[in-house]
Amino acid sequence: MRRVPAVAWTVLIWLMLVTMPYWMNGLGGYTELASRVLVLGLAAMSLNFLLGFTGVLSFGHAAYFGLGAYGAAMTIKYIYPSTPLGILVGVATGTLAAMVIGALIVKLRGVYFAMVTIAFGQVFYFIAFRWNSVTGGDDGVSGWKRQALDLGFTQINILGNDKAFYYFVLVCFAVAVTLMWLLLRSPFGRTLLAIRENERRARFLGIPVERHIWLSFVISCCFASLAGTMYALLNNFTDPRALRWDQSGTFVIMAVLGGMRSFWGPLIGAGIFVVLQDYVSSHTENWMSVIGLFFVLVVLFFPRGVLGMLRRKGLT
């Protein structure tokens, strides 16, 4: 019974993503907003690889998101003006940090894990904030721009053409999301579900739980840092707020808002969050309280998130 709607959802979502720059404008949005949905959606989906499908809550994913952003920005500004190189360095930086930190915290569970991820995240935030000479401190890394893509036979101008940049982000998003989807449907992915469902049973089936959580954490952070590099490219800028704990919080909110038990839920959550933020913040400075209220209502009445609610309705 559940299979058919799942496929239908997937097709519908891809169709919407491919056409988003065209209808986003009709809804009063703009292409950059669509790119923002994709980037933050990827971050939230990456977080949810760990949260929804391994059952481990990280409240510090902005650290890896931000490391990706700084890695890309500083590479393009200081080392070599190439967009792909920036992405590569950003992702490598975030993933490497996740490998080290993950190994330190993987024995912790529940709220302790969440607290320590915040703490490590804040370490990176303060480094970026204080180390003026290298990171630009509070002002962030500006004075650089994403570079046109050189494919050898032709160049794609992703700087001047918003739509071109959107589709560039969409390609990266598609690769990342497809990889996550394949992983979750593999034997390895099922061991993660097993850990989420019942850690003790998983252990006594012979799954080395810590090693698998570490892998899941690293994979999740790797894709979060990819999202971070895209975020820096989108803004042609990054600053310490990309690393801060409240940024981590928005990823969690997006995942829970959309539905953390569903694969696409966090993307929907990110869409709602970004569009609501854009719309409400043009009317009032207190946009966060509106989103907060909306979040509380969803959690109270639809604990499985927006997508979880829609899916349930579709079934009955």
Partner 1 sequence: MSLLVVENASRHFGSLVAVDSVSLVVPPGELRAIIGPNGAGKTTFFNLISGFFPPTSGRILFAGRDVTQTSPEQRVAMGMARTFQITEVFPELSVRENLRIAVEVATGLRLSPWLTRAANAQIRQRIEVLLRMGGLEDKASRLAGELPHGDQRAAEIMMALALKPQLLLLDEPTAGMGDQETYDITQLIRRLHKEQKLTIVLIEHDMRVVFHLADRITVLAEGAVLGEGTPEEIAKDERVQAAYLGKAA
Binding residues (CB under 8 A) for partner 1: these are 182-183, 186-191, 193-194, 197-198, 200-208, 212, 215
Q: Which is nearer to partner 1, 16 or 182 (CB)?
A: 182
Distance CA 277, CA 284 (A): 10
Are residues 306 and 272 in contact, defined by beta-carbon separation less than 8 angstroms?
yes
Structure tokens at 92: 């490598």
Q: Which is nearer to partner 1, 212 or 244 (CB)?
A: 212
Least CB distance to partner 1 at residue 189 (A): 8
Q: Which is nearer to partner 1, 7 or 297 (CB)?
A: 7
Least CB distance to partner 1 at residue 211 (A): 9
Structure tokens at 128: 């970026």
Are residues 138 and 129 in contact, defined by beta-carbon separation less than 8 angstroms?
yes
DSSP 7: H
Structure tokens at 167: 């589709």
Q: How far is CA 235 from CA 33, 35, 63, 128, 130, in A?
A: 11, 10, 18, 18, 22
Least CB distance to partner 1 at residue 260 (A): 13
Q: Which is nearer to partner 1, 21 or 305 (CB)?
A: 305
Say how many CA atoms lie within 13 Å of 169 toward its Cβ: 35
**Taking the alpha carbons of 68, 69, 74, 77 in that order, is the dihedral positive or negative?**
positive
Least CB distance to partner 1 at residue 307 (A): 16
Q: Which is nearer to partner 1, 132 or 198 (CB)?
A: 198
Least CB distance to partner 1 at residue 197 (A): 4
Q: Which is nearer to partner 1, 124 or 263 (CB)?
A: 263
Q: In the chain, which ranges are continuous DSSP H helix?
A: 3-24, 31-51, 62-74, 83-105, 110-130, 132-135, 162-184, 187-197, 199-203, 209-235, 245-258, 265-281, 287-301, 305-315
Distance CA 304, CA 210 (A): 27
Least CB distance to partner 1 at residue 50 (A): 17
Least CB distance to partner 1 at residue 57 (A): 17
How far separated are the first and last CA of the chain, in Å rounded?
11
